[in-house]
Structure 1
Amino acid sequence: MADKPKLGIWHTTTLQAARDRQQSYPTTIIAGQKRPYDASLSHSSDRSEPSRGQARPQPRLPQRAPSGFLVSGGAPRLTASRVEYAEGAPVGALPSEYSQRQAFAATPTSTIDPLLSLSHPAYGLPSQLVANFAALGIRSIYPWQKQCLLGPGLLTGEKNLVYSAPTGGGKSLVADILMLKRVLESRDAKAILVLPYVALVQEKVRWLRNVVSNILRGDLGQKEQDDRRKLWARRADKDTIRVVGFFGGSKIKATWADFDIAVCTIEKANSLVNAAIEDCSISSLRAVILDECHMIDDGYRGYLLELMATKVLCLGQPVQIIGMSATLTNIELLKNWLQGHSYETHYRPVPIDEHLVYEGKIYAAGTTASLLKTVNQLDSRSQFSEPRVQPLRIIRPSDHKELKDAVRNAVVALANEAARAGYGVLVFSSSRAGCESDAILISRVMPMFAEVDPATQEKRLDLLGDLRSLSTGLDPKLEQTIPFGVAFHRKAGLTTEERELITSAYDRGVLKVCVATCSLAAGINLPARRVILHDARMGRDFVGPAMLRQMRGRAGRKGKDEVGETYLCCRQNDLEDVVDLMHADLPQISSCLISDQRRIRRALLEVIAIRLATSRESLDDYVSKTMLALSAEPDSIRQSIETGIDELRKMEFITRGDDGSFHATRLGKAVVASSLDPEDGLFVHNELKKALQAFVMDGEMHVLYNFTPVHDMGGGTVNWRVFWNEMQQLDDSGLRVMHFLGLKPVTVNKMLHGGTLSESTSEEKEVARRYHRFYLALQLRDLCNEMPIHRVAQKYDVPRGSVQTLAQTCQGFAAGMIKFCETMGWGAMAAALDHFSDRLRAGARSDLLALAKITFVKSRTARIFWDNGFKTIAAVANADPKELLPLLMQAQPNKVRLGAKDEEKYREKLLAKAKIIADSANRLWQIEMQQELDDE
């Protein structure tokens, strides 16, 4: 048989790359890298790898880990299908649209171009900031970043900026530099950075705190900085840069005075700007960063980005607005709206090789033209006379019944190949159930636990132990997969703590394969050498072009991989739709302010309530500065404004004075203060007004009902069987609340037996909303009474991640309800709600609220402390950590018998935790004593 042609370097497989690693070119430290390279994760040279066409050895029987974890989960082992080179495979392929590196031998360095060094005087950055970037792995920037930063008026803050760069291209660094320059210009300067998801906010806060470490505010001069550093201890609160995260459920209240850089979700950023305009503290704002700004046309929440940015444009003060995205097409629209400079690049430091996997064959999908040609010739209905396009490689069919499906077999084989070669793999599945099943199947073909090096074994067992020690306990499916280096990541199915442990372990190389839903693509920065799409769906529907770009863009780890790989696995029936999707251009963004009349109503109410615009002329001027003014007909805009004003007056949110100016009523101000849509605000007002007449105070259900968000929580439908059972167990107080709300047992019984709630009229929709809110309030009741999240999830038949999201969202909503009552002048109601807000945050009864303030002391731990005599913060503060150790062991769920060595290690970890708890209690106790002295 003739020798197979050698593939081009940019279509080198992970297996071949692992063999040729000694010849690979070195990678340099790069800009925008947020995770330092860990030398301990270097791939060992003695890794066993099968040759081409050679079957892998049959794995040994399941074995038990030393600590007592059943590492096989009891499932029989499988053998992954071989991935072989195809006969007549083409030599190389056209470059990917992302692969700019293919056209250049190397990226220029700062020795060739001095402007690629952040220490260059052109950027005017303090030496401490440059040193901090270097410590985080950023010693030079890319040419495109240099060109972008040196755009007209950007470094001086005179011009706004909109720019687009691929995922992984280092776009965040440009915004970070410009934002920090604005904050460092004066001691009272502030900036707001807006991100779409809570996980991104939390990650960005950690990153920025490292970036600004030891940097003093309001000073770019080195000499003055050195002199002021001597006063560090006395003036740290004034001189350091404070980075604070604001998101739903966070313990931080949105106060303008307590931060220099606010990292916010979209909703929190809009609320923060409203409050600052109203109390006239907005004058210190110097920069606003809009990350993922393509979301501005998101119908559910993106319009709030447009509202917030438009308010900033109307301020008449120098505020630099910076918008960035990886998926912008009509960037000129945003440029014209923000009246700034624009920049576009397609550069990626790590090129991506893209593939289509169809019927067990892997085809290069480097460009649109070659992709369409490939698919046309693959189509059995095609009558082309030219030869069929040859695949690059072939995935052999499997003999296992679990892997008979060609797509599933391809996913498992490709994940197994890359992971065994030592690379990280991300697999995107279309559903939550698909995540779990893919993870379990992949784990069954991975190397046995005993075949893994001892250091990795230890880290995986530590991960299992950390997951087991959480209040939710260890998920049984994760217990099956983690010993083999595989885990799944689902927002609804896992809690925040579980997801953080999994992503950290994957990032450190402890886990090799992470199976996730599409939400991970945009929700967290977690790249991989190989990205595999089980299909191109989210649920039953195909993902959009932007989401597909986000998923593929996760391929390639700078500093660890020379290339990224994507494999989209496609079924025969989906082939045409998948081709259309991969061929589709990214959609152009547009304003969605008047696509739903409710949005323009909120826009008008907000600016009237904060007195940014009160006359008809000023309202027209405000709307003229929105993106809507550049993308809609003037007549339709004018009509929408007229209709919106009339409806706000009918809803009694605004009035018109004799001079023609508009004023927000107390109700209108309450709606804006609580960050509600006008329609939701009207519903809340009616509910609370009725509660004032007959508030049920001899129980907790009425308070918890008013804490339950009025918008859809995405927690699934009501389980009427559970609703009925819980209703049967309600005490007299709970039944009175149901009666007061108009919730009828006969209706619940009807729904239990297959009935439906009619929602054809607005009144019927409100009734249906009350039933749904009450069902969620039942879950909140259990959480506030110390039932663990996973028990609540089991009881109400919902994912535990959804239960945690409900609890976190309710904390933010509760704060809004308290503001609503305070603005309406309902002080007694606000006080009652405020007390339960603390219980909701602690997830505990009233007697544990003080203990729950201690670090690591959740409701379960607090109850065990209380029951064992540690009933106050002072008692915990004065305890020896060794006294707390047995209590912490008692608080751990799902006990497991451990060997002597592992038992000792487990106790050491808990003892370290006990010391942190004691230190935290000491700090809180000192604050209490100081307050007592002040009161005297």
Structure 2
Amino acid sequence: MESRQGIFHKTTIDSVQQATFHTTTLAGTKRAYPETGDSQRSRPPQPTTPNAQVQFERASTIGKEPPKLTASAIVAVNPSSVSETCEYSQRKILSATPRSTVDRSLLLSFPRYGLPDCLVNNLKSLGISEIYPWQKQCLLGPGLLNGTKNLVYSAPTGGGKSLVADILMLKRVLQDRDAKALLILPYIALVQEKVRWLRMVVQDIKRERQDDKENEQKLWQRRPDEDNIRVVGFFGGGKIRATWADFDIGVCTFEKANMLINSAIDDYSIAKLKAVVLDELHMIDDDRRGYLMELMATKLMSLEHSVQIVGMSATLANIDILSRWLDAHTYTTFYRPVPIEEHLVHEGNIYQSTQTTGIIRAVGKPGTNSNINRPNSQPIRTIQPSPHKEFQDPVLNAVIALANETARSGYGVLVFCSSRQGCESDARLISRVLPPMHQLDTITLEKRLDLLGDLRSLPTGLDSTLAVTVPSGVAFHHAGLTTEERDLIATAYDTGVLKVIVATCSLAAGINLPARRVILHNARMGRDLVGPSMLRQMRGRAGRKGKDEIGETYLCCRNSDLEDVVELLRAELPQVSSCLTTDKHRIQRALLEIIAIRLANSRESVHDYIQKTLLNQSSEPDIIEGHVDSSLENLTSMGFIQCDEYNLYTATQLGKAVVSSSLEPEDGAFIYREMQRALRAFVMDGEMHVLYTFTPVHDFSISINWQVFRTEMEGLDDSGLRVMTFLGLKPTVVNRMAQGGKLKESTPQEKELARIYHRFYLALQLRDLCNEIPVHVVARKYDMPRGTVQTLEQTCQGFAAGVIKFCEHMGWGSMAAILDHFSDRLKAGAKSDLLALAKITFIKSRTARVFYENGFKTIAAIANADPKELVPILLQAQPTKVRLKSKDEQKYEEKLLAKAQIITDSANRLWQIEMQQDVDEV
């Protein structure tokens, strides 16, 4: 095939236009666009249909589009060396997974798996009727299907590893109607995604009853959903204590799962737990959160009854040590249903990653013999230099050209950047080389404008960068966006409305968004080179099963980083190990928990527990014993545990309070000191002391803007100033810091005081959020990303729930009640008079105030309203007012009417509950 530049080269993108294979397009009708300047400029700038002209005029209200740029051409270097038949082309021709006619054991209905027809049919409706050979071999491992053996396995991202764990977990729950299972994930977004998936998998599945006469007499006491498999997600803060009776499969974050297991062991209901799945098992050596997996698994292995533990990861190097620890069957596969071609891009040259051995010599790095012409060291394609000043940097030019090539061919592309600012900058530049709005087909344009409308209707309004990039099918995705913005962008990309997402590396592990092509803009994330595990996570997003026949990755590398990057590409995955003996003394929390929940009460039982830890597999016994002895002494000196004359350990009231509130021992000691001082002189005539009390103690990596701190301090009333004085905060120090001073943090006392200043600064933001100031306004006021402010708000809700439990266990009921009230206000983002309305779906903060001021002051008032009455109120509550064409205004009001219907339905449910409670009280 002759390329547009007149050079013969066959790429996976070019093959689209040759119809070498078929790929389904998600968003509207795919059309080809010219890639380079002349043909693009010769195209008349007119809409595809008359309706598109109306849409284009509507879009012009968004803001003026920047001038369009042209992406550099990508050309083949040596066409004659390009083989028509390669490993990937053969894998596309030959099915990697045999059909069921070849191997019936690949069918989910195969009798040996013992899956009920209803489950098999549900999976088939979701596109899964067969499994891969590796999944079959893994599932048929000894003792796995009957639940008598644990499993640790590793499979590449996109290789289907989750299905194995799902099948094993579902078998435990289906075989025993009293059985419970936990699926443990690191991130809230993954928990939410998995809950949605599992609910579709178990939809309409009824478990068989084993009724005897005694049970038949109690049928009237059964809940309507008692025969269903209930999937519930646990994350964030909550006042209701979950019990096994509330769910069958719990999908949890690390923290919530640890809390559930502790509670169940403490109240002896843990016997119902039959299966636990630990996803992202490689995170077990993460000193910040991942160590909780070691705590949970060790506690489960210390129980008298067996719990099947399934651990999985895409990046496990030393799987043997984990299998010895968990006494588990192991399985490792490198199979991917969608193969990946991996590339390194350097100075505009594209190399295959397998060529890295000779790349350094080929480019003539200092200290090497550049005359040595080693095989496989020549680039396969080159990216031509750009005439635009914006693209003079060869790395940026490569990113733009590669993204442009993919998006114009109708495929999705993920670009990973090292910073939030870099994400937004790249998104703007990529959008400037893609087709303008007037060249889009009507369906695509309509969907993108709808996405802009949805973003605009959020409480934060429409981001200025997204307003420019979304019409071109480009968006950015990072922690600076709110949860609602990220969800809309992810959904739009997944459905093909957006073609390009530029994200920080957190997206690689945080949510499942595969792409045809993954581009790394730099080998560094922040200042540091990415690690082998993170590199594999990011590159593993390439290839979308069912939509792509192949995936591609491009690591763009600067000249100064070349040697480090080549070394990175060769690097083995890091060995995982226990982090219980790090500087953060995680072993103290492990010991406090097992003593508090009565899993151990003597030196001998503590020793038995330690023998079951991952730590015991990798450290010398003498070293471990030393850490255990010092940790028990520290816990005793802090007042968390006590030892009687028989050398038996028990947790004190304070120790139990720390465990129940899921605090680290050190943080628990700090909170205890703070609460003791507060109880002696709590400032009740204002809000600041309460808000400070449930501001999290751990580091948010948020720097204090001392000028803002000083301004807010000067606006405090007498109550707020008394709180500052009570906490030991001095206005003179704030003034000095605002003038460029530096806060001392040399001694433990100085570090604790610095933490108090930091907490008070965050409490000022919580004060604004509780008083109906929108998240984006607070973010602008404190010069912080709105997503960071929202994360602070959500984290505070979880921390507040923990502090409330701490107070309840300490017998401080009045303090717990005060904190509980403000926790409700923080969750609602509203003052006290709006708390009832804030329980209604879609009614929070500003929206609740608008309803209240329009006469809808109670749940009953909204429940009895006609949804059409609520549409004008919802229009008032929008953060920005945009003039729309009459047709578009009608469509927008239809969306608001649907939203109003959901609001009235939610209000009706709440009103019925209120009326039932009134009847019960009578």
TM-score range, shorter chain: over 0.9
| 1:867-895 deviation per Cα after TM superposition (whole angstroms, max 9, x unaligned) | 01100000000111111110000001111
Please report how far the alpha carbon of residue 255 of structure 1 lies from its aligned counterpart in structure 2 after TM superposition. 3.4
In structure 2, what is the equivalent of residue 135 of structure 1? 125
In structure 2, what is the equivalent of residue 908 of structure 1? 894
In structure 2, what is the equivalent of residue 272 of structure 1? 260
Letter in 1 for 2:749: E
In structure 2, what is the equivalent of residue 652 of structure 1? 639
Aligned residue for 2:112, secondary structure, equals coil
In structure 1, what is the equivalent of residue 157 of structure 2? 167
- Inter-partner Cα distance in structure 2 for 1:89 and 1:850: 73
Cα 1:601–1:233 change in 2 (3 A) is closer
- Inter-partner Cα distance in structure 2 for 1:333 and 1:730: 57
Cα 1:883–1:657 change in 2 (3 A) is same
Written as runs of structure 1 = structure 2, the 5 A alignment for 1:407-418 is 407-418=395-406
2:911 equivalent to 1:928: no
Letter in 2 for 1:544: G
In structure 2, what is the equivalent of residue 704 of structure 1? 691
2:348 equivalent to 1:360: yes
TM-score by length of 1: 0.93
- Inter-partner Cα distance in structure 2 for 1:101 and 1:809: 47
Please report how far the alpha carbon of residue 376 of structure 1 lies from its aligned counterpart in structure 2 after TM superposition. 2.6
Cα 1:705–1:571 change in 2 (3 A) is same
Aligned residue for 2:152, secondary structure, equals strand
- Inter-partner Cα distance in structure 2 for 1:467 and 1:487: 12
- Inter-partner Cα distance in structure 2 for 1:867 and 1:59: 53
Is residue 5–residue 91 contact of structure 1 (8 Å, CA) maintained in 2? Answer: no
- Inter-partner Cα distance in structure 2 for 1:544 and 1:250: 35
Letter in 2 for 1:185: Q
2:357 equivalent to 1:372: yes
2:787 equivalent to 1:795: no
2:580 equivalent to 1:580: no
Is residue 333–residue 630 contact of structure 1 (8 Å, CA) maintained in 2? Answer: yes
Structure 1 counterpart of 2:820, from 834, 850, 857: 834
Is residue 416–residue 521 contact of structure 2 (8 Å, CA) maintained in 1? Answer: yes
In structure 1, what is the equivalent of residue 602 of structure 2? 615
Instruction: Give the CA RMSD over aligned residues.
Output: 2.4
Aligned residue for 1:786, secondary structure, equals coil
Is residue 184–residue 253 contact of structure 2 (8 Å, CA) maintained in 1? Answer: yes
Structure 1 counterpart of 2:195, from 195, 202, 205: 205
2:866 equivalent to 1:880: yes
Is residue 364–residue 391 contact of structure 1 (8 Å, CA) maintained in 2? Answer: yes
Letter in 2 for 1:918: T
2:398 equivalent to 1:435: no
Q: Mean Cα displacement is larger for which, 239-248 or 775-784? A: 239-248
In structure 2, what is the equivalent of residue 144 of structure 1? 134
In structure 1, what is the equivalent of residue 143 of structure 2? 153
Please report how far the alpha carbon of residue 340 of structure 1 lies from its aligned counterpart in structure 2 after TM superposition. 1.2
| 1:818-841 deviation per Cα after TM superposition (whole angstroms, max 9, x unaligned) | 100010011111111111111111
Structure 2 counterpart of 1:562, from 549, 570, 573: 549
In structure 1, stretches of 5+ residues that fail to align are 27-37
Is residue 148–residue 308 contact of structure 2 (8 Å, CA) maintained in 1? Answer: yes
Written as runs of structure 1 = structure 2, the 5 A alignment for 1:231-310 is 235-249=223-237, 253-310=241-298
Aligned residue for 1:65, secondary structure, equals helix
Letter in 1 for 2:577: S
Aligned residue for 1:112, secondary structure, equals coil
Letter in 2 for 1:509: G
- Inter-partner Cα distance in structure 2 for 1:99 and 1:591: 43
Please report how far the alpha carbon of residue 761 of structure 1 lies from its aligned counterpart in structure 2 after TM superposition. 1.3
- Inter-partner Cα distance in structure 1 for 2:186 and 2:85: 35
Cα 1:25–1:787 change in 2 (3 A) is closer
Is residue 35–residue 73 contact of structure 2 (8 Å, CA) maintained in 1? Answer: no
- Inter-partner Cα distance in structure 2 for 1:767 and 1:622: 37
Aligned residue for 2:823, secondary structure, equals helix
Letter in 2 for 1:418: T
| 1:369-408 deviation per Cα after TM superposition (whole angstroms, max 9, x unaligned) | x321233322343315443732111111111111111111
Cα 1:143–1:723 change in 2 (3 A) is same
Written as runs of structure 1 = structure 2, the 5 A alignment for 1:312-351 is 312-351=300-339
- Inter-partner Cα distance in structure 2 for 1:779 and 1:121: 59
Please report how far the alpha carbon of residue 54 of structure 1 lies from its aligned counterpart in structure 2 after TM superposition. 7.7
Aligned residue for 2:331, secondary structure, equals strand
Is residue 364–residue 392 contact of structure 1 (8 Å, CA) maintained in 2? Answer: yes
- Inter-partner Cα distance in structure 2 for 1:740 and 1:58: 72
Please report how far the alpha carbon of residue 147 of structure 1 lies from its aligned counterpart in structure 2 after TM superposition. 0.4
- Inter-partner Cα distance in structure 1 for 2:464 and 2:43: 23
- Inter-partner Cα distance in structure 2 for 1:233 and 1:565: 57
Is residue 99–residue 352 contact of structure 1 (8 Å, CA) maintained in 2? Answer: no
Cα 1:385–1:103 change in 2 (3 A) is farther
- Inter-partner Cα distance in structure 2 for 1:444 and 1:102: 34
In structure 2, what is the equivalent of residue 733 of structure 1? 719
- Inter-partner Cα distance in structure 2 for 1:840 and 1:256: 28
Is residue 237–residue 800 contact of structure 2 (8 Å, CA) maintained in 1? Answer: no
- Inter-partner Cα distance in structure 2 for 1:630 and 1:463: 52
Please report how far the alpha carbon of residue 268 of structure 1 lies from its aligned counterpart in structure 2 after TM superposition. 1.1
Cα 1:797–1:445 change in 2 (3 A) is same
Is residue 186–residue 218 contact of structure 1 (8 Å, CA) maintained in 2? Answer: no
Letter in 2 for 1:482: V
- Inter-partner Cα distance in structure 2 for 1:552 and 1:318: 37
Letter in 2 for 1:441: L
- Inter-partner Cα distance in structure 2 for 1:162 and 1:100: 32
In structure 2, what is the equivalent of residue 17 of structure 1? 15
Written as runs of structure 1 = structure 2, the 5 A alignment for 1:521-532 is 521-532=508-519
In structure 2, what is the equivalent of residue 464 of structure 1? 452
Is residue 195–residue 231 contact of structure 2 (8 Å, CA) maintained in 1? Answer: yes
Cα 1:15–1:932 change in 2 (3 A) is same
In structure 2, what is the equivalent of residue 33 of structure 1? none
Written as runs of structure 1 = structure 2, the 5 A alignment for 1:55-66 is 56-57=40-41, 65-66=56-57
| 1:657-685 deviation per Cα after TM superposition (whole angstroms, max 9, x unaligned) | 12111011111111101100110000000
| 1:678-709 deviation per Cα after TM superposition (whole angstroms, max 9, x unaligned) | 10000000001111111111111111101100
Cα 1:164–1:753 change in 2 (3 A) is same
Cα 1:754–1:174 change in 2 (3 A) is same
TM-score by length of 2: 0.95
In structure 2, what is the equivalent of residue 35 of structure 1? none
Percent of aligned pairs with the same residue? 65
Written as runs of structure 1 = structure 2, the 5 A alignment for 1:531-542 is 531-542=518-529
| 1:270-290 deviation per Cα after TM superposition (whole angstroms, max 9, x unaligned) | 111111111111110000000
Structure 2 counterpart of 1:713, from 651, 675, 700: 700
2:409 equivalent to 1:421: yes
2:82 equivalent to 1:86: no
Cα 1:805–1:555 change in 2 (3 A) is same
- Inter-partner Cα distance in structure 2 for 1:640 and 1:489: 42
2:790 equivalent to 1:804: yes
- Inter-partner Cα distance in structure 2 for 1:562 and 1:477: 33
| 1:777-802 deviation per Cα after TM superposition (whole angstroms, max 9, x unaligned) | 00000000010000000000111101
Please report how far the alpha carbon of residue 67 of structure 1 lies from its aligned counterpart in structure 2 after TM superposition. 2.4
Cα 1:448–1:59 change in 2 (3 A) is farther
Q: Mean Cα displacement is larger for which, 860-869 or 66-75? A: 66-75
Is residue 166–residue 348 contact of structure 1 (8 Å, CA) maintained in 2? Answer: yes
Please report how far the alpha carbon of residue 717 of structure 1 lies from its aligned counterpart in structure 2 after TM superposition. 0.3
| 1:138-177 deviation per Cα after TM superposition (whole angstroms, max 9, x unaligned) | 1111000000000000000000000000000000000000
In structure 2, what is the equivalent of residue 768 of structure 1? 754
In structure 2, what is the equivalent of residue 67 of structure 1? 58
Is residue 89–residue 392 contact of structure 1 (8 Å, CA) maintained in 2? Answer: no
| 1:177-205 deviation per Cα after TM superposition (whole angstroms, max 9, x unaligned) | 00000111112110111101111011001
Cα 1:250–1:353 change in 2 (3 A) is farther
In structure 2, what is the equivalent of residue 512 of structure 1? 499
Is residue 254–residue 293 contact of structure 2 (8 Å, CA) maintained in 1? Answer: yes
Is residue 415–residue 513 contact of structure 1 (8 Å, CA) maintained in 2? Answer: yes
In structure 2, what is the equivalent of residue 32 of structure 1? none
Letter in 1 for 2:732: V
User: When the two structures are aligned, how many residues end up with a matched partner?
Assistant: 905
| 1:77-101 deviation per Cα after TM superposition (whole angstroms, max 9, x unaligned) | 11111111123563249988x9994
